[in-house]
Amino acid sequence: MYSSICNAYAQLGARGVPILYASGDGGVSGNQASDNRTEFVPVFPASCPYVTTPAYQSAAVASYLSALGSNSSGLFNATGRAYPDVSAYGTRYDIKAGAVSLIVSGTSCSTPTFAAIVALLNDQLLSAGKSREQPACNGGTPGFYAAQGWVPVTGLGTPNFTLLASAAGL
């Protein structure tokens, strides 16, 4: 079943439809964060390569892995895809669920925030007669080594609409 859904995501991506999924609040530890696992286990659908396939971060990830050396060795597939691609602030969002007001946090806040920024950029790109951008999702887990550039907790960083619009030629 997963391969069928991933293939559908690939078809949508080929049409320029951005698909964003959070890696989940467990990040690369997936739902097994409390099982004392000895490897990172990302969960579906964020584990589907067609929702992120972020070639733009390849050089930054390679640089991070080089600086990482043997730290965290064996916990991840160094030739696989990197998590996360991007991040966004996801703490204490006021939402309304039916008639109830709630304060929530986590990737269920940050992913829609990033998706909204991408939607605004795509609207401006389409209005200008240009093609849409294809974004990614976010996630992370505590315990990674910090570095300049790409890092496993925040990816390439948080979105700045003005800078992204400029980079997109708007």
pLDDT in tens, the chain (170 residues): 788 998 998 898 888 787 887 776 666 666 555 556 566 667 788 778 777 657 667 788 888 888 888 877 777 777 777 766 667 888 898 988 899 999 988 777 888 888 888 889 888 988 999 877 654 343 344 456 767 777 776 777 788 889 888 988 88
According to DSSP, the residues that pair with 102 across neighbouring strands are: 95
CB count within 10 Å of CB 101 equals 9
Indicate the pTM of the whole model: 0.66
> Which of 22, 30, 36 minimizes the C-alpha distance to 155?
22
What are the chain's domains?
2-167 (3.40.50.200)
